[in-house]
Amino acid sequence: MLYDAIVIGAGFAGLTAARTLIERGKKVLLLEARDRVGGRVYTHHFADGTYIDLGGQWIGPTQDRIYALAKEMKVPVFATYNEGKKTIALNGKLKLYSGLIPKIDVASLLNIDYVLKRLDKLASRVVPDKPWQTPDARRLDSATLASFLDRHVWFGNARQVLEAGFDTVFACTPAEISILQALFYIKSGTNLNTLLNIENGAQQHRFEGGAQTVANRLSKCFEAHILLNSPVTHILQTETSVQVITRNAQTHTALRVIVAIPPALCARITYTPPLPPLRDQLTQRVPMGTVIKCYAIYPTPFWRANGHSGQVVADDAYHLQTTFDNSPPDASRGILMGFCLAHRARKLLALPPQERQHQIMQNFIAFFGKAAEKPLLYTEKCWAEEEWTRGCYTGMMPPGAWTNFTDALTRPVGRIHWAGTETAAVWNGYIEGAMQSGQRAAQEVMDMES
């Protein structure tokens, strides 16, 4: 059997690429390492019907592809809970506030506003599909986002709030990415307000039944084309075709391959002939972020009764940068979700699971009081422990990578094409970006044939 295309990875990028090609009448095989589809979108269902999204869960305005797909797959979306007061935990004190502006000193507020506006203005100049061609790219790529903050943030409270926010957006510390990467990411997701907000922002909607429901239903449309439990170990190109070899020693052959997994995982496949050095070296340089997604599940969302939104932003004294109300739309359970990210996650990773759980629960109790003490269940997902992802949310370009390696992230290598949200020009790092990358790679394959 000679396929027109083999797609590697059944996350939203691979599913979209496969579907696009199948709809054009192509013979397609989709290989997935895990025993499920969805990739970084992963919903866990409990016996009592409660579900939690352990991976990607939100969508928002301008993410037209995923809204359309959810509609088509008949998966209703609902508004993320966003009523009541929020808490800011700063300098050992918890303060409640309403609206978008946390209760901190005016100087810090002005400083935060200045920094967000300045980053948005710089981001507006980024060339989204060619960040290395952005005006002044080399300078912006040679300094870290942390250096930018050192220069433009003058108040400790502003720094703490901005870092908690940026950690929540990037899932790595501001030291790890260049200013150019930060600007590119902001531009690809419209602007910083969009990235940070629930209402009219990237956190606006959730999916009934969880985000993986969309991937599951999509995969049913071409189930016969999908092989699960098939991690790819080797890709071998010849003059006329490509052989893809899986860990269980199966060989599949196609005219083209779309690799729809993160660059750090691309590095772990053996290629014959070897990849060009620029491509190989790039894959050494796009590390995954660090996320522990922490869940405490209660009989009811008790915080709502107290007029609280479930939303907290916390400084370095806590393990969780931010929390959200992740209860189901009918509030049949009360679910708090906390993000433990970047350096805070790395500290906790060194602890045994029991101790980690204890530390995180202490945070939930500090934020939400005695009522938070006894959840029905505590659970967490550490994405750095997942063999087939190795971190979340996404792969991030460190300083120097964009300007030194330019299009190595997306440029096809012979019969191999690259997809995955890391390669997206819009909504990079998000479900929407994954879908855009899948469409783009499928188009590349179709263009090659014509």
The residue ranges that bind its own copies (CB under 8 A) are 141-144, 146-147, 150, 172-176, 178, 264, 267-268, 274, 276-278, 280-281, 284-288, 290, 342-343, 346, 349-350, 382, 384-385, 387, 390-391, 398-401, 403-405
Measured from the CB of residue 164, what is the shortest distance to its own copies in angstroms?
16
Yes or no: say if 81 and 325 are a contact pair by the CB < 8 Å rule: yes
Could you tell me the smallest distance in angstroms from the CB atom of residue 391 to its own copies? 6
Min separation Cβ 173 and its own copies, Å: 5
* Shortest spacing between CB 140 and its own copies, in angstroms: 10
| CB of 401 or CB of 424, closer to its own copies | 401
Q: How far is the CB of 55 from its own copies (least distance, A)?
A: 16
Nearer to its own copies, 214 or 265 (CB): 265
By C-beta, is 259 or 286 nearer to its own copies? 286
Nearer Cβ to its own copies (98/284): 284
Cβ proximity to its own copies, 157 vs 181, nearer residue: 181
Question: Whole-number minimum distance, CB 152 to its own copies, in Å?
Answer: 14
For residue 112, what are its two tokens?
């935060």
Closer residue to its own copies, CB minimum distance, 263 or 301: 263
Per-residue 3-state assignment (H helix, E strand, C coil) for the chain: CEEEEEEECCCHHHHHHHHHHHHCCCCEEEECCCCCCCCCCCEEECCCCCEEECCCCCECCCCHHHHHHHHHCCCCEEECCCCCEEEEEECCEEEEECCCCCCCCHHHHHHHHHHHHHHHHHHCCCCCCCHHHCCCHHHHHCCEHHHHHHHHCCCHHHHHHHHHHHHHHHCCCCCCCEHHHHHHHHHHCCCHHHHHCCCCCCCCEEECCCCHHHHHHHHHCCHHHEECCCCEEEEEECCCCEEEEECCCCEEEEEEEEECCCHHHHCCCEEECCCCHHHHHHHCCCCECCEEEEEEEECCCHHHHCCEEEEEEECCCCCCCEEEECCCCCCCCEEEEEEEEHHHHHHHHCCCHHHHHHHHHHHHHHHHCHHHCCCCEEEEEEHHHCCCCCCCCCECCCCCHHHHHHHHHCCCECCEEECCHHHCCCCCCCHHHHHHHHHHHHHHHHHHHC
Cβ nearer to its own copies, comparing 22 with 382: 382
Nearer to its own copies (CB atom), residue 21 or residue 341? 341
Least spacing, CB of residue 400 vs its own copies, in Å: 4
Q: Are strands 28-31 and 416-418 parallel, antiparallel or unpaired?
A: unpaired
Distance in Å, CB of 351 to its own copies, minimum: 11
Least separation in angstroms between CB 361 and its own copies: 20
Question: How far is Cα 218 from Cα 207, in angstroms, rounded to an integer?
Answer: 14
CA-based nearest residue to 341, from 297, 388, 289, 287: 289
C-beta of 141 vs 325, nearer to its own copies: 141
Shortest Å, Cβ 237 to its own copies? 15
Give the residue with the Cβ less far from its own copies, 106 or 249. 249
How many CB atoms neighbour CB 240 within 10 A?
Answer: 9
